[in-house]
Amino acid sequence: MLVDGGTVLLVRGLGNKVDARSSRWREHRKKVRAEIVDAAFRAIDRCGPGVSLQEIAAEAGTAKPKIYRHFHDKADLFGAIGKRLREMLVAAIFPTIDFAADPTREVVRRTVAEYVALVEQHPNVLRLILAGRFPEPSESSTRALNEGREITMAIAQMINNELRDMQLQPAALELAAAATFGSAASATDWWLGPDPDCPRRMPAAEFVTHLTTIMLGTINGTADVLGIDLDPDLPIGRAVPRRDAAD
């Protein structure tokens, strides 16, 4: 049976209304999820890495069941916290560095300085993530830590882009990125200490200097293994193959 034109228009109109409602619901859900993550940051900052879901709900001005309406489970919420940290780091780090123009040492120093500034802003959130103090450690901690690893992998890819003519081994750069992330995580855990009341084990500026040296050590060591002469006081793109490696 053929459907007349009026019916077709009616069906299309109903479809558009449904699509509009779905779009509004998605935006509302996205907004509420963001507000709950904001509240989680505040609750963790205040209560420490042992914060309960009830304390997060109270900070959000809602009840626990509402949180479960917007997050599948605790792992989903803590994964969103890790994602937010990654977004904050990306927003802080990448606008401040220029791989094409800045010396490698300065790129690393600025990256570390922005990272340490974020740690100082939310030390208990970093404690929770780096120490794996999650409700379901195997899933939640892995998801949150992977958000941080993505940043070091992105930096490794940017380095590879600057040195693309050398056709470097991707696995070597990924290994260096993983080692860099692991070093930064362990160093941060040490610097913060095991408890929220612990004093910092050295001033922030000194910690930035030491961590910058450690990161540069990983970069210089990887360059040496790959047969690259890299002057940290020049942009990464100025690195050249070692003469003996090129022969």
Residue ranges of domains in the chain: 1-71, 81-246
Handedness of CA 202, 205, 206, 209 (dihedral sign): positive
User: Which residues in the chain land under pLDDT 50?
Assistant: 1-3, 133-135, 137-138, 140-141, 245-247
Closest CA to 188 of 109, 123, 107, 121: 123
CATH number of 1-71: 1.10.10.60
Helix (H) or strand (E) holding 57: helix 53-60
pLDDT value for 121: 92
Q: Which amino acid is at 105?
A: R
pLDDT value for 90: 84
207-223 pLDDT, tens digit per residue, is: 999 999 998 998 889 88
Instruction: Provide the whole-model pTM.
Output: 0.78
What fold is seen in the domain 81-246? Tetracycline Repressor; domain 2 (1.10.357)
Q: How far apart are CA 127 and CA 195, in angstroms?
A: 9
